[in-house]
Structure 1
Amino acid sequence: MIALFKHLKPYTRFILIILVSMLAGILLELYLPTLMASIVDIGIVDNDMGHILQTGGWMVVCSLLAGALTVIVTYFTSRVSVGFGRDLRRKLFIHVEGLSLQEFDRFGTASLITRTTNDIKQIQDVVNMMFGMMIRAPIMLIGGIILAVSRDAMLSLIFLASLPVLACLIFLIMRTAIPLFRSLQNKTDRLNLLLRESLTGLRVIRAFNRTDYEKKRFDQANEDYRDIGIKVNRMIAVLFPVMMIVMNFTNVAIVWFGGIRVNEGVMQVGNMIAFLQYAMMILMSLIMLSVAFIMIPRAQASATRINEVIQLHSQIKEPAQPESGKAVQGLLEFKDVTFRYAGAERAAVESVSFVARPGETTAIIGSTGSGKTTLLQLIPRFYDVERGSIEVDGVNIRDMSQKELRAKLGYVPQKAALFRGTIADNIRFGNGDIPQEQLEAALATAQAAQFVSAKEGGINAEVSQAGGNLSGGQKQRLSIARALARKPEIYLFDDSFSALDYKTDAKLRAALRQETGQATVIIVAQRVSTVIDADQIIVLDEGKVAGIGKHDELLKGNRIYQEIVASQQTEGASA
């Protein structure tokens, strides 16, 4: 957790104000029992009303100043803790955005959401508590002990019995709490995961009558979370009553033995009252520390989880001296490319080599799991190749900056991804400076103009979260329009026509041939009808290239392609 505190550096000025104000406030609070003792021992005993009024006035002034300083400490503590939380969330978000998909997959979406929200909130609360209690309590504790001993060293021996009991209790609770709080955060991850799956897969769950099954899964995770939470709260439930018992016995002992010493004439009544107040300050300081020590283990568990993400560096590195394209714009070449997912026994793609040229359409086809999508995801460097190289415009993509590389690409993913906002916002997502005419032309090419114009507001119609108010085909066409509006050198269509009917598919492909012009087009598809007119078709089988050629050539001499065509003809999808 200490490693995260370096993010407090921008708030050094505020922290100094907090420390100075807190120290001054504590000194004033510690001075109040001394004034009280003076009123009792001098003002009341000697019946000196002037002394009582004067000293009482100083008590009022000290109390008001201490209150004002407490307000200042609270205000700046809130600014520091909330600002720290904001900065840490920003850093974590930016860091996650920079990770490759390989590192992203290691944690999962649900866990990363928990770490960015719940875990950072735990750290933020500890920072708030640190300046509000954790710094204040030790100063108050030490100051109280010093002043109590100065009042009566013999009576201070009572603390030798009470303080070790409280210290041991706090230590035992911390030792037990750390693994429990770590487990509690993991249970939170599990709850978030199940909730996210249930909400995103709601239609499938209802369609297959699995509502009861999902309820049982969530209930089990919820009960696990509850059980851990009960264990933690049991410890807290034990801590505070025990601390109150120790504190009350300490007060009884002070009054008992203090009364004896007053009776013997060794100690004055005012001193005993002051001593009792210092004892209360000492014990309250310990209670504040115990509350802090209860929260620290949970924050420590959260800090560990946050550091796990921050300390994980992307395997995809920016080149020290980026190179720009040297050859024809849009030239893409795979040279003996092999890639394997982390932990996989078999390579997803192996020894793949081909060239995709500007003005041509390259189609990739193959059975499910043959590596088509993987091949496309290697081009924008979502993953880095294990062996071989990929060149764009004659430059190895590892020697090109990621920003420049991705500026050359228009990527349409297998699952259409839209964002909350208007249709225009989503089309301009790839380039915010797209003029209205270019935007409308992209919609027309993507065969989306008709349904967009039919919507209320037209191009400015609202798109709900993840495009929930659009059909699958509409989302795909808007995703295609987003890539077209960018006018890149290379178009990457990852099975982007699967939700379209054959008529719309054919019209879209015809419009694409005119729109893409001299750009390089790579299409991953399942339908033979989608790839039949491609300049070259790459047939993949278990991650390897099983054939490259035009439709007629492959139909004559490639067994795997023949099987694909035959299977689709059988299903009535004749090529």
Structure 2
Amino acid sequence: MNDMKRLLRYAGPYRRDMVLGAVLVLIETCFELFIPIMIADLIDVGVANHDLSYVYQKGVQMILCALMALITGLLYAHFAAKAAYGWGAEIRKAEYEKVQQYAFSNLDHFAVSSLITRMTTDVTVLQNMVNAGFRPVTRGPSLLVMGIVLSFWMNPKLAVVFLVCLPVLGSVLFWIVSKVAPMYTRLQSIMDRLNRVVQEGLTAIRAVKAFVRDEYEEEKFAEVNTDLTSSSETTFHYAVLNLPAFQAVMYSAIVLIMWFGGNMILKSNLAVGDLTGFLSYVMQVMNSLMMIANVFLLLTRSLASAHRIAEVLDEQVELASPENGLEQVADGSIDFQDVSFKYHKDAREFALSGVNLHIPSGQTVGILGGTGASKTTLVQLIPRLYDVSEGAVYVGGRDVRHYEIHSLRDAVSIILQKNVLFFGTVRDNLKWGNPEATDEEIWEACRAACADEFLNRMSDGLDTMLEQGAGNLSGGQKQRLCIARALVGKAKILIFDDSTSAVDTATEKKIREALAKRKDVTKIIIAQRITSVINTDQIVILEDGKVHCTGTHKELLAHDPIYQEIYRSQMSGAQENEMEQSTAKAERGSVQVKGGITDGSENLQR
């Protein structure tokens, strides 16, 4: 319940609608409770005395009460819907804002599919609780209390039947709720798995078709879908038991009241109208119990969803700006001092160990290393996407933990290994680097990233619409737009995380030449090809999360065995390719010459 109370704080401006809805339900209940009293008077006075005017009078009063109940019920529906969907919108907004504050380490705690479920399905469960449960939760207790009070007022002896039936029904409903409660939690977890399978299947649909894994994906979906169906059937199998339990107790109560009430009528201890009115109260009290039972089921499911939502909102953000944090980065200098890092506190080994590096402002640095050498991990510490476990990282001569996070990340642009572009125009995507950028500044960045080559061929230019994930662009085009997006900004540090892997060598050379003109910007290039870093000011070789050595191309080629091996393997392969290409050209030239001689001899013969 603490989670639910916490989420009710987000009701905000919709609390007034909730209060008005509750008041309207109480008024509606009062009008309905007056009707049985009028029925009793109509029978005992009007019908018994054959007084038609009295019958008409009570009939009109009953109609007015019914109309007022209808009007207040409709007004309640309006305010309840407004409160439910408004509250849900505020919760989704709070969740999304919280996720935007997460550090990478926080995002590691939740699967993407789970976050989607928590922002959609779980919030919908809470909305349904308010929309469908607010009326019975307000109306049920009031009907129950007022109905029992009025039934005791009409005939205390018959009302004793309630004292017998209510505990029986309450015990059955309590058993049902306690049985179903843990099942709802499992149901939402399975929903997470279903969303994950659907998300993966649709995101990777091209790979699925390329590898002809349609049947495998269908089987995987069928498995989790069947699990969800089975769990739902089991859960709601117990949940619907409240209806037969309610009906059994209600009809037992009616039989008992008719039995005892009939005997009282025969002994002239009870009027027929009173018995009729009393039966109306029986139905209302039982209906109120049914409402309360349904509310408990809704509440049980909503508590499971509320807990899942609260987990997102209560997640402690591991990276936060310090109070009075620095808002200006002096320059693009970078220093790693005895830096060690691991992704989880309980991890046995460090991903980075004892890293010491000095990168002067304006320098171009290349980073090489095998797969798993922690190259990406190293550069992610610079814009403080993660915090170091030991040591410190300095940017502009100050510890990155002393900067206001937004200011630090504005000064550090990183082109991620995985290209990320959003649905919208090319201009909208490139303005992520600088929202105030003019078209001229955007085109200048595109020319530096060689993105103008294909944008000029597009009829809409910067207004070209990109599909979700930029599916209408090639891998190289995506990379060039991502580079242009980083160059649009005014960053003091540019980090290229293997961001030219899909670009041909000629285009990559043009991009390197354009970057070399930015003398005041520090460039860090993570690459697999040695040609991408051969002309940098210094090259850093990483091995098993440690700095193996640093130096220029000539220094490393002369003294470092790892660099020598990388150089030989890549450059010898390049030389072999050149030789094969030259041989192929020579063979094609020979064929052409032979063809020309043959043609000439044939002409001479003719």
**TM-score scaled by structure 2?**
0.92
Name 1:17's counterpart in structure 2: 20
Percent identical: 36
Q: After the TM superposition, which of the residue ranges 419-428 and 205-214 deviates more from structure 2? A: 205-214
Name 1:261's counterpart in structure 2: 264
Report if aligned partners of 1:324, 1:395 keep a CA contact under 8 Å in 2: no
2:428 is aligned with 1:422: no
How many angstroms apart in 1 are the aligned matches of 2:333 and 2:327?
13
Three-state SS of the structure 1 residue aligned to 2:495 is strand
Three-state SS of the structure 1 residue aligned to 2:421 is coil
Amino acid aligned to 1:88? I
How many angstroms apart in 2 are the aligned matches of 1:198 and 1:571?
37
Name 2:449's counterpart in structure 1: 446
- 1:326 and 1:434, CA in 2 relative to 1: closer, same or farther beyond 3 A? closer
How many angstroms apart in 1 are the aligned matches of 2:60 and 2:328?
81
CA offsets per residue over residues 387-443 of structure 1, 9 Å max, x none?
111111111110110011011122211001000000111001222211010011111
Amino acid aligned to 1:456? S
Q: How does 1:280-299 map to 2 (within 5 A)?
A: 280-299=283-302
2:317 is aligned with 1:314: yes
Give the superposition deviation at 1:513: 1.4
- 1:370 and 1:202, CA in 2 relative to 1: closer, same or farther beyond 3 A? same
Three-state SS of the structure 2 residue aligned to 1:546 is strand
Give the superposition deviation at 1:114: 0.9
How many angstroms apart in 2 are the aligned matches of 1:274 and 1:30?
10
How many angstroms apart in 2 are the aligned matches of 1:213 and 1:249?
55
**Could you list the runs of 5+ residues in structure 2 that have no partner in the other structure?**
579-606
Report if aligned partners of 2:333, 2:362 keep a CA contact under 8 Å in 1: no
Counterpart of 2:42 (choices 39, 43, 53) is: 39
Name 1:143's counterpart in structure 2: 146
Three-state SS of the structure 2 residue aligned to 1:302 is helix
Name 1:53's counterpart in structure 2: 56
Amino acid aligned to 2:85? V
Three-state SS of the structure 2 residue aligned to 1:379 is coil
How many angstroms apart in 1 are the aligned matches of 2:216 and 2:349?
34
How many angstroms apart in 1 are the aligned matches of 2:130 and 2:58?
37
2:375 is aligned with 1:367: no
Counterpart of 1:92 (choices 83, 88, 95) is: 95
Amino acid aligned to 1:554? L
CA offsets per residue over residues 526-549 of structure 1, 9 Å max, x none?
110111111111110011111111
Name 1:469's counterpart in structure 2: 472
Report if aligned partners of 2:451, 2:481 keep a CA contact under 8 Å in 1: yes
Q: How does 1:260-409 map to 2 (within 5 A)?
A: 260-325=263-328, 327=330, 329-342=331-344, 343-409=346-412
Q: After the TM superposition, which of the residue ranges 10-19 and 220-229 deviates more from structure 2? A: 10-19
2:540 is aligned with 1:538: yes
How many angstroms apart in 1 are the aligned matches of 2:225 and 2:253?
42
- 1:432 and 1:28, CA in 2 relative to 1: closer, same or farther beyond 3 A? same
Name 2:169's counterpart in structure 1: 166
Report if aligned partners of 1:32, 1:59 keep a CA contact under 8 Å in 2: yes
Give the superposition deviation at 1:9: 4.1
Q: After the TM superposition, which of the residue ranges 62-71 and 562-571 deviates more from structure 2? A: 562-571
How many angstroms apart in 1 are the aligned matches of 2:251 and 2:261?
15
Give the superposition deviation at 1:345: 2.3
- Aligned residues, how many? 573
Three-state SS of the structure 1 residue aligned to 2:574 is coil
**Could you list the runs of 5+ residues in structure 1 that have no partner in the other structure?**
none
Report if aligned partners of 2:415, 2:483 keep a CA contact under 8 Å in 1: yes
Name 2:556's counterpart in structure 1: 554
- Quote the RMSD (CA, aligned, Å): 1.7
2:472 is aligned with 1:478: no
Counterpart of 1:202 (choices 182, 190, 205) is: 205
**TM-score scaled by structure 1?**
0.96
Three-state SS of the structure 2 residue aligned to 1:391 is strand
CA offsets per residue over residues 463-486 of structure 1, 9 Å max, x none?
011111111111111100100011
- 1:505 and 1:202, CA in 2 relative to 1: closer, same or farther beyond 3 A? same
How many angstroms apart in 2 are the aligned matches of 1:567 and 1:284?
81
CA offsets per residue over residues 350-378 of structure 1, 9 Å max, x none?
11122222322111111111011111111
Report if aligned partners of 1:89, 1:116 keep a CA contact under 8 Å in 2: yes
Report if aligned partners of 2:329, 2:407 keep a CA contact under 8 Å in 1: no
How many angstroms apart in 2 are the aligned matches of 1:347 and 1:63?
73
How many angstroms apart in 2 are the aligned matches of 1:571 and 1:177?
65
Give the superposition deviation at 1:323: 2.3
How many angstroms apart in 1 are the aligned matches of 2:50 and 2:418?
88
Three-state SS of the structure 2 residue aligned to 1:532 is coil
Three-state SS of the structure 2 residue aligned to 1:537 is strand
Q: After the TM superposition, which of the residue ranges 245-254 and 532-541 deviates more from structure 2? A: 245-254
How many angstroms apart in 2 are the aligned matches of 1:232 and 1:458?
55
- 1:161 and 1:365, CA in 2 relative to 1: closer, same or farther beyond 3 A? same
Q: After the TM superposition, which of the residue ranges 122-131 and 387-396 deviates more from structure 2? A: 122-131
Q: After the TM superposition, which of the residue ranges 259-268 and 545-554 deviates more from structure 2? A: 259-268
Give the superposition deviation at 1:570: 4.3
How many angstroms apart in 2 are the aligned matches of 1:431 and 1:566?
42
Report if aligned partners of 2:208, 2:214 keep a CA contact under 8 Å in 1: yes
CA offsets per residue over residues 153-186 of structure 1, 9 Å max, x none?
1111222332222111111111111111111011
Name 1:211's counterpart in structure 2: 214
Counterpart of 1:62 (choices 65, 77, 92) is: 65
Amino acid aligned to 1:521? K
Give the superposition deviation at 1:241: 2.2
Amino acid aligned to 2:183? L
CA offsets per residue over residues 273-313 of structure 1, 9 Å max, x none?
11111111111111111111122222111111112222211
How many angstroms apart in 2 are the aligned matches of 1:566 and 1:151?
102
Name 2:137's counterpart in structure 1: 134
Amino acid aligned to 1:74? A
How many angstroms apart in 2 are the aligned matches of 1:421 and 1:326?
32
Give the superposition deviation at 1:324: 4.2
Counterpart of 2:80 (choices 73, 77, 80) is: 77
Amino acid aligned to 1:260? N
Report if aligned partners of 1:325, 1:393 keep a CA contact under 8 Å in 2: no
- 1:326 and 1:500, CA in 2 relative to 1: closer, same or farther beyond 3 A? closer
Give the superposition deviation at 1:568: 1.6
Amino acid aligned to 1:290? A
Larger radius of gyration: 2
Point out 4+ residue stretches in structure 1 off by more than 4 angstroms.
324-327
Give the superposition deviation at 1:457: 1.2
